[in-house]
Structure 1
Amino acid sequence: MPASPTLPNLTDNATAPASASVAARMLEAKQCEARKDLARALLCYMDVLAQEPRHIEAWCAVGHIMVLSQDWQKAIPALEIALQLRPGQPHARRLMALAMLQVGRADEARAMIEEAARSGGDASVWVLRASILGTIDRDPARTRVVFEDWGRRFADPLTRKSKPFSRAGQDPLRRLRIGYVTADFRQHSVAFFMRPVLQHHDPAQVEVHVYSSGPTDAVTAQLQALVPHWHDVRELDDAALYHKIRADRVDVLIDLSGHTTGNRLMVFAGRAAPVQVTWLGFMQTLGMQAMDWRLTDWGATPAGHEAFYTEKLFRLACLASYCPPPDVPLRARPPMLDNGFPTLISLNNSVKVTDAMLRVWARVLAARPDAQLVLMVKETNDEAARAVMQPRIEAAGLPSERVAVLSQLPLADFMKLAAFADIAVDTAPLSGGTTTMHALWMGLPVVALNAVRAIDAASARTLQGIGLGRWVAADEDAYVALALDLLADADRLERERGAARAALQASVLMDYRARTTELEQALRLMWANHVGGHAPRAMDLGWDVARAMAKA
């Protein structure tokens, strides 16, 4: 970001009328933003600030662009100025809270988002509040409460006004019309789980519709070729999409986004289909009454976890399928044999890399003075990545000369990281998901911590489910010992690296036909439950249509 103009006396009027040239530049900046030309928009806003250094909207916009660019350290000072000029802005507070969370200032992020919510924030403020508190607080019961705070205010009022569906004359065994709603059918983690599902759906059982509301790329085109009824709904607002889905007479509507970017949860809140399900995109509860079921499994949600979700749980034999990227080399030989030193790598984004986790890794490096650590984070450039991580690395006592910070890589390059890393180290409390499976496919052993919540235990449950539970540690001491043990014996490490992909390949995660058949059975049972006139209830594949139709 260009150097910020010196801020004048903040006791001056912060809302002086804009000059014609300032107004013109603001208009141009907004037009650039609409075209996704963030670089040009930023230049326009900085021109505005050169003329009117106390222009609140411009400061907020600069902070917003920096957030979109994941340049958190430059977002924070711009938003600080905006909040100095007008302290009560929920939008600026929301952006500030998000930036603070990303740079490890979790307690400040929580305080900031609570202030934003108290001052009357919109739905985006309340859902970020839930996400931040759900990230910081590991109690799943309290996580449900904060997501329900959002649902009660914004989703549930729409549900109460929704038009009911008739059950008269419905056939529980007929071919079902199912619809997937997502913004992520592109180069995104959801695509790695959904491609095999779209490939293996039985057209005799289901008529598949996709309602795609996100950006497109080459992966989008590949997925679209697998779907008989693809609807590009990027230009439809929630009301128009709701009416379209109703007109298409979809029986079972499946959300693949949860509370992530591009979601269309307000369409579900209005009750667009008689049966509504959430799956894959968001591991915590959504907090809304209109979402009937959550597709899960016994590993992610053991018995007793029903109370942590507003959705009823339908437990599959396995939560998902995994389709790895093509043409990924497998290197069993540990790079430490050629480099003369071991390398650990973290593949998860910076918000998952807590200060406590950095201190755990510092213990590993202290016990192994020749070891290197690579932090592969999600910031889009190396400067931004280092700006976020370097102060935290030093504060955690890590030897900065043995820690490298890398920004986001193209997927093809990302999948080559096993060529110089010996093992992957997972994060806690928020664990890896897709990154863990990618690591295994590369041949990297993954050291993970066990946990309770599904969002925290994703790596642990994956490893346990595919027969690699020996890489799951019960606590931090065991985690450090496990990492050191893997690095202590190069011959054993070579065997472990060779076992990683084989275990994944032989697992239920890659039995695509079985997983898709089970999914269709689950959707059939949900539909039968609806046709039978019952409210959603906890179910699993042990049920049959007759039981789903019958009274409890």
Structure 2
Amino acid sequence: MQPDPMHRQQIAAAENYFRAGQTGRAEEVLRQIAASGTTVPKVFELLAYICGNRGQLEECEANLVRAAALPGCSPEAFFYLGKAQLQRGKPGSAVESLERSIALAGEFFEALHELGVAHAQLDEHERALQAFQRAEIKNRRSPVLLSNMGHSLSALQRHDEALRHYERVLALDPQQVETWTDRGDALAELGREPEALDSYDRALKLDPDHAPAWLHRANTLLSLRRHAEALESYEKASRLAPDTDYLRGYLLHLRMHVCRWDGWAGQVNDLLARVTAGERASTPFTLMAAPAPPAALLQCARTFAEDHYPARGDAVFSRPDGHRKIRVAYFSADFRNHATSQLMVRLFECQDRNRFEWFAFSLTRSRDDMSERVAGAFDHFVDVSSRSDADVAAMARAEGIDIAVDLHGFTQGYRPNIFAHRAAPIQVNFLGFPGSMGCDYIDYILADATLIHPDEYGHYAEKVVTLPGSYQPNDNTKAISPSAPTRESLNLPAGAFVFACFNNNYKITPDVFDVWMRLLLAVPGSVLWLLKCNDHARTALEAEARQRGVDPARIVWAEHSALPDHLARHAHADLFLDTFHYGAHTTCSDALWSGLPVLTLEGPTFASRVSASLLRAAGLPELVTGSVEQYEAAAKSLAESPQRLAGLRARLQAQRAEMPLFDSPRFARGIEAAFEAMWERWRNGLPPDHISIPEVAASAVD
């Protein structure tokens, strides 16, 4: 429908006012025409531009939507509608608008670039990259395009290609602070941390107040275990941008790594209040070593998962009959000489290949002797380190995986988006992350009766599968070096009672350290043997000991060593003292395998109960205490009762081969029974539910 002559004149006048900068007069005329019921899209386009220039995005979009619904709407209007929708967080609608603009006007750089941005916001990075590549044909020298291509390539795990794009940006404009930071991220992902640090420093030389560069620099320093430097960078980022998401949690966690406890209680309380209120204050793992209640840990995980890893749509799975093998896939970046594989390798070797088909999806290229051993235990060992999350999930679906097991949760190397894309109809959180992931697409968490009580199921987003005995697998072939070092070579006094704790230093908190220092004062000549994680923690803990009236020389420091040698030196400790809030996990089973009794305080969370679980499975429930007072009294009593300790050590050594904790085939049967129970529910059309595996299922051997 053509406008009548009067409207044509009014529209022309409004356009002239608009070009002359008289937007008020233009708007007045345009609104009069719009109120008359006009069908001229130009009226609403001009109104949209006026609103957009004033920052009134909602009204801008509404006018462009009205224009788009009318015949003769221009491709420019569809383009600006797409931009407005992107700005208003509607990337799906933006894709439709931008594609209509391109269909009307042909391919032009601006629309293709914004189309790529929209797909990237939808986490559709393959499609984003295709749009960006089409845009690149139009303009190969756009820094913003090349930068966005780098972001999508990084999201697709193609970090080497992303690096090349960032370097193309810097060749065009070496003053791009954000691109120096992005370049550092790509280098860090490629394991080139020193070069990454140099790239962050180049960014900070250009702009010393660029908070993201300080933050990413801190993350890289943390991966290099340069904890004090990492803390300095986090603190700098905090001063520049104190409300940066999750920064408060990183700060507390780094302070715990170097055992800086000034103001610790207040920081913990502030962090917990923010997490409980739903703020993006802490990542789930960084909160875990603090005295956080289960409800706060769940809220933290939910907030983090919803922010970074929302569900990416439900895949459709056909239900197979019951005559083929159940296909189970483990996903991890730690199929190497790492605590995860040290615990699980024997389980992998004991897996039943008659009823199951086993897959390992490796998220890292790193390989060593342990990798070869792990790979040999699987029917299929697949390196997916360079594949995107969506691709990995699609590969798993193509293989017909029934049960996908995430061995990371929210720990280093994690890639939850694989599971957000639904790799399998049944998805399981196991071992690597001692708590709920807060995701609706993770169906089950494997635990045991000690770790999660029935009245605590509400603190987990997953359904709880209760394994018999302990949830932790162990290697019953783990070697202990036959040549144990002497006490003298370990700097341990010859006749001293040795309290030991080989947990990471960040797990040591002021409350447990108070108890340890009182024990040293109460047990003459005793020493505390700790793992030295970094020099700053050592200096801080020695100062804390001095403040509590204890000679710092009574703390003896153990260096990191190869696992067989580390296990052998346990012979020179008398009692392993567990930490309170994030207790010993692998370190507890190492101690028990070596014959060293472990004393623990059973706390309220998964992470604080693992030692209790292991001790009960090892037949030593008397070493599980229920309060700080009981823990301290038991430690003192045992230190004064060498015969009791000798009896505990003798029980461990005599029963090690028979106890459930170290019965690898038994554990394999138990977890297989759990997998079968999950699979049967799904095959019968039933939703996930809490499952308890009886002892008989675990002890049965085909």
Q: TM-score range by the shorter chain?
A: 0.7 to 0.9
Match of 2:27 in 1: none
- Alpha carbons of 1:522 and 1:65: their partners in 2 closer, same or farther (altered >3 Å)? closer
Kindly report the root-mean-square deviation, in angstroms, between the aligned alpha carbons of the 2 structures.
Answer: 3.6
Aligned with residue 248 of structure 1, among 399, 406, 430: 399
Aligned with residue 523 of structure 1, among 675, 690, 694: 675
Name the amino acid aligned to 1:372.
Answer: V
Q: Does 1:327 align with 2:480?
A: yes
Q: Does 1:182 align with 2:332?
A: yes
Q: Which consecutive residues of structure 1, in runs of 5 or more, have no partner in the other structure?
A: 1-17, 546-552
Q: Does 1:298 align with 2:444?
A: no
User: Which runs of structure 2 are paired with 1:354-503 in the superposition (5 Å)?
Assistant: 354-377=509-532, 379=533, 382-387=534-539, 389-503=541-655
Match of 1:269 in 2: 420
- Alpha carbons of 1:467 and 1:113: their partners in 2 closer, same or farther (altered >3 Å)? closer
Match of 1:8 in 2: none
Aligned with residue 108 of structure 1, among 249, 256, 267: 267
Q: Is the 8 A contact 2:256 2:507 kept in 1?
A: no
Aligned with residue 143 of structure 1, among 294, 297, 307: 297
Please state how far the C-alpha of 1:442 moved relative to its aligned partner. Answer: 1.8
Please state how far the C-alpha of 1:531 moved relative to its aligned partner. Answer: 1.3
Q: Does 1:346 align with 2:496?
A: no
Please state how far the C-alpha of 1:522 moved relative to its aligned partner. Answer: 1.9
Match of 1:233 in 2: 384
Q: Distance in 2 between matches of 1:100 and 1:332?
A: 33
How does the TM-score come out when normalised to structure 2?
0.66
Q: Does 1:70 align with 2:222?
A: no
- Alpha carbons of 1:248 and 1:332: their partners in 2 closer, same or farther (altered >3 Å)? same
Q: Distance in 1 between matches of 2:496 and 2:241?
A: 53
Aligned with residue 162 of structure 1, among 295, 311, 314: 314
Q: Distance in 2 between matches of 1:349 and 1:155?
A: 28
Q: Distance in 2 between matches of 1:343 and 1:544?
A: 40
Please state how far the C-alpha of 1:367 moved relative to its aligned partner. Answer: 0.5
- Alpha carbons of 1:136 and 1:236: their partners in 2 closer, same or farther (altered >3 Å)? same
Aligned with residue 460 of structure 2, among 309, 315, 328: 309
Q: Is the 8 A contact 2:485 2:568 kept in 1?
A: no
* CA-to-aligned-CA distance 1:366-399 (integer Å, 9 cap, x gap): 101311112215x3xx424424534444455543
Number of residues of Structure 1 aligned to a counterpart in Structure 2 = 517
User: Which runs of structure 2 are paired with 1:513-552 in the superposition (5 Å)?
Assistant: 513-542=665-694
Structure label with greater radius of gyration: 2
Q: Is the 8 A contact 2:249 2:286 kept in 1?
A: no
Q: Distance in 1 between matches of 2:236 and 2:330?
A: 42
Match of 1:207 in 2: 357
Name the amino acid aligned to 2:551.
Answer: P
- Alpha carbons of 1:177 and 1:119: their partners in 2 closer, same or farther (altered >3 Å)? closer
Please state how far the C-alpha of 1:261 moved relative to its aligned partner. Answer: 1.4
Q: Distance in 2 between matches of 1:29 and 1:154?
A: 21
Please state how far the C-alpha of 1:331 moved relative to its aligned partner. Answer: 7.6
- Alpha carbons of 1:480 and 1:153: their partners in 2 closer, same or farther (altered >3 Å)? same
- Alpha carbons of 1:399 and 1:458: their partners in 2 closer, same or farther (altered >3 Å)? same
Q: Distance in 1 between matches of 2:695 and 2:555?
A: 52
Q: Distance in 2 between matches of 1:332 and 1:468?
A: 27
Q: Distance in 2 between matches of 1:334 and 1:467?
A: 29
Q: Distance in 2 between matches of 1:118 and 1:24?
A: 34
Aligned with residue 171 of structure 1, among 317, 321, 337: 321
Q: Is the 8 A contact 1:330 1:443 kept in 2?
A: no
Q: Distance in 2 between matches of 1:56 and 1:450?
A: 40
Match of 2:342 in 1: 192
* CA-to-aligned-CA distance 1:65-90 (integer Å, 9 cap, x gap): 32222333222223323333444443
Q: Is the 8 A contact 2:332 2:361 kept in 1?
A: yes
* CA-to-aligned-CA distance 1:214-258 (integer Å, 9 cap, x gap): 343221111111112011111112111111111111111111112
Q: Is the 8 A contact 2:411 2:433 kept in 1?
A: yes
Larger RCO: Structure 1 or Structure 2 (Cα < 8 Å, ≥ 6 residues apart)?
Answer: 1
Name the amino acid aligned to 2:267.
Answer: E
- Alpha carbons of 1:542 and 1:115: their partners in 2 closer, same or farther (altered >3 Å)? closer
Q: Which moved more, 1:244-253 or 1:368-377?
A: 368-377
Q: Which moved more, 1:137-146 or 1:217-226?
A: 137-146
Q: Is the 8 A contact 2:448 2:613 kept in 1?
A: no
* CA-to-aligned-CA distance 1:417-449 (integer Å, 9 cap, x gap): 324322211110221111011011222111211
Name the amino acid aligned to 1:144.
Answer: L
Q: Is the 8 A contact 1:97 1:113 kept in 2?
A: no
Name the amino acid aligned to 1:208.
Answer: W
Q: Distance in 2 between matches of 1:90 and 1:529?
A: 39
Q: Distance in 1 between matches of 2:511 and 2:217?
A: 31
Name the amino acid aligned to 1:175.
Answer: K
Match of 1:14 in 2: none
Aligned to 2:556, the other structure's residue is in SS state strand
- Alpha carbons of 1:441 and 1:331: their partners in 2 closer, same or farther (altered >3 Å)? farther
Q: Is the 8 A contact 1:101 1:132 kept in 2?
A: no
Q: Distance in 1 between matches of 2:419 and 2:187?
A: 32
Please state how far the C-alpha of 1:165 moved relative to its aligned partner. Answer: 1.9
Q: Distance in 1 between matches of 2:513 and 2:655?
A: 29
Q: Is the 8 A contact 1:313 1:538 kept in 2?
A: yes
Q: Distance in 2 between matches of 1:262 and 1:38?
A: 15
Q: Distance in 2 between matches of 1:479 and 1:405?
A: 23
Q: Distance in 2 between matches of 1:291 and 1:273?
A: 10
Name the amino acid aligned to 1:425.
Answer: L
Name the amino acid aligned to 1:327.
Answer: I
Q: Distance in 2 between matches of 1:186 and 1:27?
A: 28
Aligned to 1:454, the other structure's residue is in SS state coil
Q: Which moved more, 1:286-295 or 1:356-365?
A: 286-295
- Alpha carbons of 1:440 and 1:56: their partners in 2 closer, same or farther (altered >3 Å)? same
Please state how far the C-alpha of 1:120 moved relative to its aligned partner. Answer: 8.5
Q: Distance in 2 between matches of 1:80 and 1:302?
A: 39
Match of 1:549 in 2: none
Q: Distance in 1 between matches of 2:560 and 2:484?
A: 22
Name the amino acid aligned to 2:591.
Answer: A
Percent identity, aligned pairs only, is 25
Q: Is the 8 A contact 2:543 2:552 kept in 1?
A: no
- Hey, which of these two has a bigger chunk of helix by percent? 2
Q: Which consecutive residues of structure 2, in runs of 5 or more, have no partner in the other structure?
A: 1-172, 698-702
User: Which runs of structure 2 are paired with 1:42-81 in the superposition (5 Å)?
Assistant: 42=197, 45=200, 54=209, 56=211, 58-81=213-236
Match of 1:278 in 2: 429
* CA-to-aligned-CA distance 1:119-171 (integer Å, 9 cap, x gap): 996xxx66x1x34445434432333233223344444442xx2123233xx32
